[in-house]
Structure 1
Amino acid sequence: MPLDPALARLANATLMVPFESHHAPRWVLEGLADGVSGVCLFHNNLESPEQIRALNARLGEAADTPLISLDEEGGDVTRIGQARGSDYPGNAALGAVDDTGLTRDTHREMGGHLADLGFNMDLAPSVDVNVADDNPVIGTRSFGADPALVARHAEASVLGLHDAGVVACAKHFPGHGATSQDSHHVLPRVEAGADVLRERELRPFRSAVDAGVRSVLTAHIEMPALGGPGPSTLNHHVLNRVLREELGFTGTVVSDAMEMQGVSGDIGIPEASVLAVAAGCDLLCLGRFVYADQVAAVRTALVEAVQQGRLSGERLEEAAARNAELRAWARERAALRASAPAPGGVGLSVARRATRVEGAPPRPHDPLVVEVDAPPGVAVGEVPWGLAPWFADTVRVVPDPAAAEGLLTRARGRDLVIVVRDAHRYPGARDLVLALLAGRPDAVVVEMGLPIWRPGTGVYVSTYGAAHVNSRSAAELLGAEGALQGASPTV
C-alpha cells in the first residue's frame, strides 16, 4: 500500500542519509527532491577536491539547500584528510595549547575549507570531557579532562565554524567521556550522580548553546541520574527537560548514527528511529551503511507509527520545521560568507605548540623508527599516522615484546625512535616499549595519542594526536629532512 504522500514527506524531513559512491545515486537525488533534509558523506564518497565540489553541487541542485554534512573534527577523525591525515590538529592538541583564539582560528580555517568544497554542516565539535583514561572512542577527540577547559574551547570551535558559514554540531550529548565502552558496539552506562554530570558533562554543552550552536548530536549512552534508563537518543527527559529546558537549546537535535549497536542493536534501525523522533530527535543521522532499502524502511516505520498513534503528527511536523530552519540558517550564512581564504597554516602552528618534550631535545642520527601499531577506532577508520613519510627506515610492528630482540639488533649502532599511540590502553605496546628500552635506554619514545603512560626513558615526546600535522611536528623536532618544507593541503 502506498504511503500517505504528506506523511512520507514529513518523515523524509527527519532523514540525513549516506550513500555508496563518488556520485549521487538516483535514490538520493529523488529523496532530496521529495523532502529528505540532507546527506552525510564519508571517505568512500570523497576522491579529490574537484570530484567533491561536483558531487556537492549536484546534491545542492536536487533541493533548496540540503544539509551536506560530514564528520570533520580535524585530528584523528577526518574525512577530507582520510588519505594521508588531517592538516588540522585534533581537540586534544588544541586543549593542550589552551589558546581559545587559536581554536577559533583553526575551526574557521577548517570550516572555510569545508565550505569551499561545498559542505554547509560539520558534525563537530566533540565537546565530551574525557575523564576515563581507557575511553576507546573519545580520547584525543576531546579538548581534555577539565570541564572548564572543554567548555571554553567548545564555545571557540562553534564560533569558528560559524565564522566560516558552516553549521556546527556539538556532540555527543550529554557526554561520552566518562566511559570505557564504545557505543558503536554496546550501550555504555555512566553511574555518576546528577550534580557531577551537570558540572562535568553538561558544562561544555551549556557553553556551546550560549555560543549559539544550531545543532546538537546525541550520544547512545545511558545516564540514569539525568532521567531514567535507555540511551539518551531515545530518552524524552534527557532531550527535553535537560537539553531544551535546562540548557535552553532551541535548535536541531541530531541523532548519532542509528546503525550503532548502542541504540538499535536490540530493536533494529527503523524502530529505533521511531523512538528517537518520539523522544525529541529532529534529524536522524542514519550512519554509513544505511542505504536505499533501509532508508525506505525507516521512512515507512515513521509513517506507520503516526498512523498507529505511536508517534504524533505534531512531533513529526515540529522536527521537520526545525530542520527547515536549520537549512534556512545555512543558506543565509552561505550568502554572507566571503570566498574561502587560502590555508594559513594555523593547523601546523597549533601542532608545533602542542608538541611536548621531556628530556634533552632529540636530534637522532640515522635512526631506526619503530612504530608500534594500534587498532583504529570505528569513528577514526583507516587514516595514515606515524613518522614514515619523513624517515626512510621506518618499520610498523605488532605490539609483541617478542619482537624486541630483532629490532634491537637492527638498531645496533644507530639511534632508535619508538612511536606509540595511546600506549596506556594496550599492554602489549607497553611491554614492547619496555623491552626495547631495557636494551636501549637512550631511545626516544614518541606518544601520538594521549600522554598518560610515560616509560622510564631519557627523552619522551608527546604530540596529543596523530594527524598529519602532529606527525610532521614530531618529525621536525627529530630533525627529519623535508619536514620543514611546505605542506600541501589534504583533499
Structure 2
Amino acid sequence: MALRDPRHSPVPAADPTRLVSSVIWPGFVGTTVPEWLDRALRNGLAGVVYFSHNIDPDVPGQLPALSAAIRAANPSAVVGVDEEGGNVTRLQAREGSAIPGAAVLGALDDVEVTAAAGRAIGRLCRDAGVNLAIAPVADVNTNPLNPVIGVRAFGSSTGLVSRHTAAAVAGIQQAGVGACAKHFPGHGDTVADSHLDVARVELTLAQMREHHLPPFQAAFDAGAAAVMGAHLIVPELGEAPATLNPRAGALLRDMGFGGLLVTDALDMAAVRATVGPGEGAVLALLAGADLLCVGNPLNAYTTGRDDEACFTEVFDAVYDAVASGRLPAAVLQAAAGRVAAFAQWSERAFAASQGSGDRASGTGPSGVGASGVGASGEAIDWVDVAARACRVDQGAGALALAGPDAVVTLVDARTGHNMAAGPTENFLATALLERHQVCVPDVDLLNAENLSFLVSAGASLGEAVLVLVDSLASPGQQATLAAVAAVAPQALCINAGLAPEAGTPTGTALTTIHCHGFSRVSAQAVVRLLNSRE
C-alpha cells in the first residue's frame, strides 16, 4: 500500500502555529496525557514518541487508553515507539522482549521467520495504539567495534541485511503499522555512538552505495512508510551530520523514496552538543526532514529540563525561522504534507489489517500481543527460534546444567549498557530461576581474588558456573572470563554480543554459547538449550 502524494494531502496553511506543530514529534513524561501535551495535540502537534516510562505494565489497558486519549486530542496523531525486538524494546521493557532481535534472525537466516517477527512487532504496536514502529534496523554492522548497532543489525553482509530488512518491513506493515527503517545512510561502520558524540563513517560514497545503502533500497522497494536519518558524517557529503545535511536528504530522495523522513532524536549529542536541538530542527527541515523527533525527556543529558521545555525549544526555533523567512513556508508545507500522508496511509493500513483477520494470538507483559504466526498461520515458538540460532564454540565445559536443586553461579561480566537499549534486568538470571537456584555475585564489589574464590568454591561443589558477557572485545570482560577460567575451566561463557566469525578465536578457552543478543527470549533460549542437555 503506497503513500499518497503529499501535495494532495490536507495540511494546515493559514495558521503558522499549527503548521510548525504538525512536524514536531516529542516525548513526554507520564502514563497519562499531561496538560501541555493535550493542548499541543489539539493545536496540531504531529504526535508523540513513547518511551518505557510512558508504559505501566501493571495497569491492564493503560497504553491503549493513553493512545486513545492522544487521538481524542488529535485523530491524525502519529504515535511511534522504538520496538526492534531483542535488545531494544519499549513495550516490553521490564520483562524483556519476547521477540528475537535482528542478529538472532540474521544468524538463522530464514526470511519467513523474519517476516513473522515483523508481524509480531506490528501486532504489539497496533494493539498498543502505535502506528509507527521505529524499526527495522537496516544498518550493515561492518565494524565489530561499533558501540551502538552490533546485535541490533541483521549482520555484516549487505545481501543478508537487505533481504531481512525487506522481510521485516513487510511483516510490520502487514499488521497495519508503518515501518521506519533506520539509520540512513547507514550507521554500521562507526566507532562512535551518536547518542554521545558525532559519529563518522570513513568510507567513500561509492563504498556506501555498495555496502550500506542497498538495505535501505530494499526497505523502500518493500514499501517502507518511513525512514530515520542518522546523526553521522559521511565526509564525501560534507561535514554536517546526515540528519542536517541537504546532500544526504537529496541522496535519499534520489533513491526513489517518497515517504516520511524522520530525524533521529534531536537531544542526542551529535546535535545537542553542537548546534543544539532548536537549531538542529531548523537545519533538519532545510535538509529535507519531515518529522522532528525531539527525544526522551528523561535521558540523563536532559536533566533539569522538563518535557514541555524540550518541545518548546524546538517549536520556538522552527517558528522563528519561518517568521524570519530563513525556513521557507513551502519547505514546511512539504514536510507537513508527508506527515499528513502518513497519517492517512496509517488509517487505511489499519483498516486493511483488521479486515484481513490479522489478530494477535497472545499477550505480553504490557497486555499487547507477542505471539508469532507463520505465513501459513502456524504458531511460532520464539524461544525455539532463538535457540536454533545459538552457536556453540566447544571448550572444556559441557552444555548442561545440574538438576533443579543445584545452585547455578552466574557471573555478570557486562559493563555499562547500550544507550539505545537502556539499562535492563538480568533476564538470564530470571530465566534460570524458573528451574534452578541462582547465585549472582556482585562483580563490582569483588576483587579478582574474591571472585575466583567464590567461583572455585561453587565449582568444587559441582555447581554450574556461567559467565555472561556482551562484548568479547572488552578487556574488562575478557579479564573476568580469564579469572573464572583459571579456577573453573568447566564454566560456560554466554555471549550476548556479536559472535566472531566461525572458527575465529573468542579470546576464552571456555565453552561459549553465542546467543546474538540479550533479551527475555534469548535468555530463555539459552536456558532451554542447557536444560535439554541434562
TM-score range, shorter chain: over 0.9
1:329 lines up with 2:345 in the alignment: yes
What is the CA RMSD across the aligned residues, in angstroms?
A: 1.9
Aligned to 2:303: none
Aligned to 1:237: 247
For residues 436-486 of structure 1, give each alpha carbon's deviation from its aligned partner in whole angstroms, at most 9, with x where no partner exists.
1122222211111212362443522111111101000101112189x9xxx
Aligned to 2:142: 131
- Would the aligned equivalents of 1:72 and 1:80 in 2 still touch at CA under 8 Å? yes
Q: Equivalents in 1 of 2:14, 2:475: separation in Å?
A: 56
1:381 lines up with 2:388 in the alignment: no
Spell out the pairing of 1:226-375 with structure 2 (5 A cutoff). Answer: 227-240=237-250, 242-245=251-254, 247-289=255-297, 291-338=307-354, 340-342=359-361, 343-344=371-372, 345-359=380-394, 362-365=399-402, 366=406, 367-375=408-416
Q: Choose 73-82 or 392-401, whichever is displaced more.
A: 392-401
The correspondence for 1:93, drawn from 90, 101, 104, is 104
Q: Equivalents in 1 of 2:264, 2:508: separation in Å?
A: 40
For residues 93-125 of structure 1, give each alpha carbon's deviation from its aligned partner in whole angstroms, at most 9, with x where no partner exists.
000000011000011022112211211110111
Q: Equivalents in 2 of 1:39, 1:458: separation in Å?
A: 46
- Would the aligned equivalents of 2:136 and 2:182 in 1 still touch at CA under 8 Å? yes
Q: Equivalents in 2 of 1:228, 1:151: separation in Å?
A: 26
The AA in structure 2 aligned to 1:166 is: V
Aligned to 1:159: 170
- SS of 2:31's equivalent? coil
Aligned to 2:302: none
Q: Could you tell me how far 1:361 is from its partner in structure 2?
A: 5.8
Aligned to 1:217: 228
Aligned to 2:487: 439
Q: Could you tell me how far 1:346 is from its partner in structure 2?
A: 4.2
Q: Equivalents in 2 of 1:228, 1:318: separation in Å?
A: 24
Q: Equivalents in 1 of 2:241, 2:448: separation in Å?
A: 40
For residues 325-374 of structure 1, give each alpha carbon's deviation from its aligned partner in whole angstroms, at most 9, with x where no partner exists.
00000011111122522024443232122112233861122332222233
TM (norm. structure 2) is: 0.86
Aligned to 1:486: none
Q: Could you tell me how far 1:5 is from its partner in structure 2?
A: 7.0
- Would the aligned equivalents of 2:91 and 2:124 in 1 still touch at CA under 8 Å? no
Aligned to 1:488: none
Q: Could you tell me how far 1:27 is from its partner in structure 2?
A: 1.4
Q: Equivalents in 2 of 1:396, 1:319: separation in Å?
A: 53
Aligned to 1:19: 28
- SS of 2:200's equivalent? coil
Aligned to 1:50: 61
- SS of 1:388's equivalent? helix
Q: Could you tell me how far 1:71 is from its partner in structure 2?
A: 0.3
The AA in structure 1 aligned to 2:256 is: G
Give unmatched runs, 5+ long, in structure 1.
Answer: 484-491
- Would the aligned equivalents of 1:129 and 1:175 in 2 still touch at CA under 8 Å? yes
- Would the aligned equivalents of 2:115 and 2:167 in 1 still touch at CA under 8 Å? yes
- Would the aligned equivalents of 2:17 and 2:319 in 1 still touch at CA under 8 Å? yes
Q: Choose 306-315 or 444-453, whichever is displaced more.
A: 444-453
The AA in structure 1 aligned to 2:520 is: H
The correspondence for 1:420, drawn from 456, 463, 468, is 468
The AA in structure 1 aligned to 2:411 is: V
Aligned to 2:367: none
- SS of 1:58's equivalent? helix
- Would the aligned equivalents of 1:129 and 1:201 in 2 still touch at CA under 8 Å? yes
Q: Could you tell me how far 1:411 is from its partner in structure 2?
A: 2.9
For residues 125-181 of structure 1, give each alpha carbon's deviation from its aligned partner in whole angstroms, at most 9, with x where no partner exists.
111111111111111100001011000011000000000000100001111110111
Q: Equivalents in 1 of 2:418, 2:492: separation in Å?
A: 26
Q: Could you tell me how far 1:40 is from its partner in structure 2?
A: 0.2
For residues 224-255 of structure 1, give each alpha carbon's deviation from its aligned partner in whole angstroms, at most 9, with x where no partner exists.
12x11110000001111x1001x111011100
Aligned to 1:465: 517
- Would the aligned equivalents of 2:497 and 2:516 in 1 still touch at CA under 8 Å? yes
- Percent identity over paired residues: 35
Distance 1:405 1:455, change over 3 A: farther
The correspondence for 1:110, drawn from 121, 141, 151, is 121
- SS of 1:65's equivalent? coil
1:398 lines up with 2:443 in the alignment: yes
- Would the aligned equivalents of 1:387 and 1:394 in 2 still touch at CA under 8 Å? no
TM (norm. structure 1) is: 0.93
Q: Equivalents in 2 of 1:357, 1:34: separation in Å?
A: 56
Moved over 4 A (4+): none
The correspondence for 1:28, drawn from 33, 37, 40, is 37
Q: Could you tell me how far 1:386 is from its partner in structure 2?
A: 4.0
Q: Equivalents in 2 of 1:145, 1:218: separation in Å?
A: 20
Q: Choose 169-178 or 424-433, whichever is displaced more.
A: 424-433
- Would the aligned equivalents of 1:116 and 1:340 in 2 still touch at CA under 8 Å? no
Q: Equivalents in 1 of 2:201, 2:483: separation in Å?
A: 36
Q: Could you tell me how far 1:423 is from its partner in structure 2?
A: 2.8
Q: Equivalents in 2 of 1:472, 1:450: separation in Å?
A: 18
- SS of 1:393's equivalent? strand
Spell out the pairing of 1:60-209 with structure 2 (5 A cutoff). Answer: 60-209=71-220
- Would the aligned equivalents of 1:37 and 1:323 in 2 still touch at CA under 8 Å? yes
The AA in structure 1 aligned to 2:359 is: A
Q: Could you tell me how far 1:267 is from its partner in structure 2?
A: 2.0
Aligned to 1:487: none
The AA in structure 2 aligned to 1:438 is: A
Q: Equivalents in 2 of 1:425, 1:149: separation in Å?
A: 24
Q: Could you tell me how far 1:292 is from its partner in structure 2?
A: 1.2
For residues 242-293 of structure 1, give each alpha carbon's deviation from its aligned partner in whole angstroms, at most 9, with x where no partner exists.
1001x11101110000001112312221111111111111000000116212
- SS of 2:85's equivalent? coil
Q: Equivalents in 2 of 1:88, 1:395: separation in Å?
A: 26
Q: Equivalents in 2 of 1:150, 1:475: separation in Å?
A: 28
